[in-house]
Amino acid sequence: MSEKSKLTGAAKASYGLGAVGKDMVYMLSASWVLYYFQDILGVSAAAMGVILMVARVFDAFNDPIMGAIVGKTKTKWGKFRPWLLIGTITNAIVLYLMFSAPPTMSGSGLVTYAAVTYILWGVTYTMMDIPYWSMIPAFTEGGKEREGLTTLARSCAGVGSAIITIITVKSVAALGHMFGGQGITDREVERIGFSYFTIIIAVLFVVFTVICCINVKEKSTVDMKSASIGEMFRALIQNDQAMAVVVAIVIVNCSIYITSNLVIYFFKYDFGGTSWRDGYTLFSTFGGGMQILAMMIMYPLLRKFFTSIKIYFISMGMAIAGYISLLVLASTSMNNVFLLFIPGFFIFSANGMLSVITTVFLANTVDYGELKNNRRDESVIFSMQTFVVKLASGVSAFIAAIALQILNLSNDTAETATEIDYSQGVGAVQKMGLRMTMTIIPIIGLIFAIFWFRKKYILTDEKIEEISNEIAARN
């Protein structure tokens, strides 16, 4: 690439800031929508599981359509930025509505409200997520430039996710007490707190995206050939490397999301104690920090000595070791949150590196597809990334919801907003079932992903360089 075509430091920083806001809202929805509607508002876990899965099936049709629309878009502001801004504003509005269900609503009305707002959230998130990630191949020409931008974006996305993971529980409680008054139930504290907390996150999301749109300029040389829906699916099927990465992303993310959906239930109903929020926040702070360090320091450091493929397998091994140690520790009578830092180190570090690596792998399949099929399918490939990540979120939330239904874990207390030890009302069988769902199922998924990826993925560093040279020569 010429010096003129390279992204400036301000553009890179702004692009990263957009990732922070984007993943703040994603993590808020992915990790808390089940807890909000099931544990706080009282919607049955089974109903929520069905809603989350139906929304993902709907996305199977919505995501490719959005990819085609982005590919056909031509404005003086470019292909991506208009949709990035429109999607962000509408998603921020829906996010607020989703976490601000009317307090008088109940029964089938509340179930309908949850379904409508969650499906709309998925639609509007797709509107901004596809153009955001489609910018990576459009801004780079492969190699170190692309990997550097991808690492930056994924690192910043990890920061956004970590922020929500760390601050949500305590912020919701604080805002709920601040605006809810005295003598209200613990449920009311969290219900009110989530509404005000979501307003803050939604505003930050819009501000960060506006900064991104202002400072990131699309290259005038980028000309994506649009395709019909049928052609898009055929292009993906023809790109065997994209399929290999997509399947791996689904399995890995599903495995990790199962744990992230249930970890708050573990602290509330198993690890317990009257200060369970403090324990959860401390653990989440450590985990979020490790995830960020893994993306920004651990991955670049390991990349000096190992290929991305080897780091992928190292990360998978770390995650499995973390889950095994988590099951062992959780099955003892220990009540020291610092001991949970041991499995947390392995799981969160692995998750951080895997989030970078899988995106690098997916971006590389765009070049592979161009060489094989004579067309660059950025929007096709990255629309599938949006879909499969949300699919993994839906599947994992469904599994978590069914586990909660079977184990009969829910907040059915009418106590006032004093500190409550919820674990006292939960039996040993329920606790063990929760622990096994959080660990055994993810381990099985990760082992399968290891064998799948080893068999299917062939794009080594040498192969990528060879493909880039062939494309350059042909063009």
Q: What is the pLDDT of residues 346-361, one digit of tens each?
A: 999 999 899 888 878 8
The pLDDT value given to residue 423: 73
For residue 416, the SS3 value is strand
CB half-sphere exposure, 181, CA atoms < 13 A = 2
**Tokens 């998925």 label which residue?**
122
CA dist 391 and 103 (Å) reads 30
d(CA 447, CA 430): 26
Tell me the mean pLDDT in the region 312-336: 91
Angle at 100 (CA atoms; ends 98, 105), nearest 5 degrees: 100
Q: Which residue has the tokens 């040389």?
A: 221
More confident residue, 82 or 112: 112
Q: What are phi and psi of 413, to 5 degrees?
A: -85, 150
pLDDT value at residue 137: 67
Average pLDDT, the chain: 84
Window from 150-154, 300-304, 366-370, 382-386 with minimum mean pLDDT = 382-386
Would you state the pLDDT for residue 376? 73
Q: Give the model's pLDDT for residue 4.
A: 42
- CA separation for the pair 71, 83 (Å, rounded): 11
* pLDDT tens figures, 49-107: 999 888 877 876 777 777 778 777 777 777 788 899 999 999 999 999 999 999 888 88
Q: Is residue 325 scored above 50 in pLDDT?
A: yes
Highest mean pLDDT, choosing among 242-251, 337-346, 368-377, 460-469: 337-346
Q: For a pLDDT cut of 70, what percent of the chain falls above it?
A: 87
- CA separation, residue 64 to residues 236, 288, 386 (Å): 11, 32, 10
DSSP 186-241: HHHHHHHHHHHHHHHHHHHHHHHHHHHHHH-PPPTT--PPP--HHHHHHHHHH-HH
SS3 content of the chain, % helix, strand, coil (to 5): 80, 0, 20
| Of residues 350, 400, 356, the one with CA closest to residue 155 | 356
Least confident of 5-9, 25-29, 238-242, 260-264: 5-9
Q: How many angstroms separate the Cα of 87 from the Cα of each of 78, 122, 128, 164, 335?
A: 15, 10, 4, 20, 44
